Amino acid sequence: MLEATGLGLSAGGRELVRALDLALAPGQCWGLLGRNGAGKTSLILALAGLRAPQSGAIALDGVPLAAVRRVELARRVALLLQDEHSDFWGSVLDYVMLGRYPRSRSAFGRDEEGLRGARRWLAELDLADREAQAYRTLSGGERQRARIAQVLVQDADILLLDEPLQHLDLRHQAIVMRTLAARAAEGKAVLTALHEPGHAARHCAFSVLLYDAGRASLGRSSDMLTQANLEALYRCRLEAAGEWSFLPS
């Protein structure tokens, strides 16, 4: 269980999150919604132990995050960053296998379990035939799926994903969301930043809404993702669109 209490975050002199209490329990899938610049990435980086919060505490099973060794933390918490600037030299499979670093520390010897995992996630994310292709020759959406496969092969209990659906076409958006929801159903805790409330409504039982000036609200998606809340969140008028609606009927 990853638990933030009284969390306060700011960036560039702006307060993003104030006194947030959030607990990611096993089996839960959380959607994280907010306008551009609302603090979604800052919250995810803080939960991953990459940025120290301005106030409050984050604990992994009761142990303060700063006291957990990096490699131990990496076995428990996996993170998909929003951007990655790497011109990786190897194949797609090589790339995904880097996600095994916290699990197999030996420089030699084949990590059979890791290879099986890598192939499984590549297949699930529709990249099975790309395994041997050079990573740098992938398209943007294919790279995004390879990056998600790398996060999944890490086999952590808690998955933090910053906009996993960027660059993905409709079909692959659905595949990724189903994969994430299935991980939660297996007992992992998932928190994913999303820009499409429909995905959160369908696949995430819980949602965090980050408003401006540090205000946040969280709870069951069925209670959170109302038209009024989303209009306030995105500061624009929304209209229900029949079957495509993100609103509970």
The DSSP code sequence of 20-56 is EEEEE-TT-EEEEEE-TTSSHHHHHHHHTTSS--SEE
Residue 64 found at the interface with another protein (CB under 8 A): no
C-alpha span between 176 and 80 (Å, rounded): 13
Rounded distance, CA 202 to CA 183, Å?
15
Comparison of 57 and 71: residue with beta carbon closer to another protein = 71
Smallest separation, CB 154 to another protein (Å): 7
Q: At its nearest, how many Å lie between another protein and the CB of residue 89?
A: 4
Q: How far is the CB of 71 from another protein (least distance, A)?
A: 4
Decide: is 86 part of the binding site for another protein (CB under 8 A): yes
Residue 118's H or E segment, with its range, is helix 112-124
- Rounded distance, CA 214 to CA 225, Å? 19
Which residue lies nearer to another protein by CB, 111 or 131? Answer: 111
Among 12, 13, 108, 112, binds another protein (CB under 8 A): 108
CA-based max dimension of the chain = 57
Query: Site for another protein (CB under 8 A): which residue of 57, 66, 71, 128?
Result: 71
Nearer Cβ to another protein (144/221): 144
Q: Which of 16, 43, 74, 152 binds another protein (CB under 8 A)?
A: 74
Contact between 70 and another protein by CB under 8 A: the answer reads yes
CA–CA distance, 112 with 106 (Å, rounded to integer): 13
Structure tokens at 42: 């800052």
Residue 50 lies near another protein (rule: CB under 8 A) = yes
Stretch in the footprint of another protein (CB under 8 A) among 41-49, 195-203, 213-221, 230-238: 41-49
Binding mask 1-40 for another protein (x = CB under 8 A): ----------------------------------------
Give me the numbers of helices (H) and strands (E) for the chain, helices first please.
9, 10
**Burial category of 191 from C-beta neighbours within 10 Å (exposed 0-12, middle 13-18, buried 19 and up):** buried
By CB under 8 A, tell whether 110 contacts another protein: no
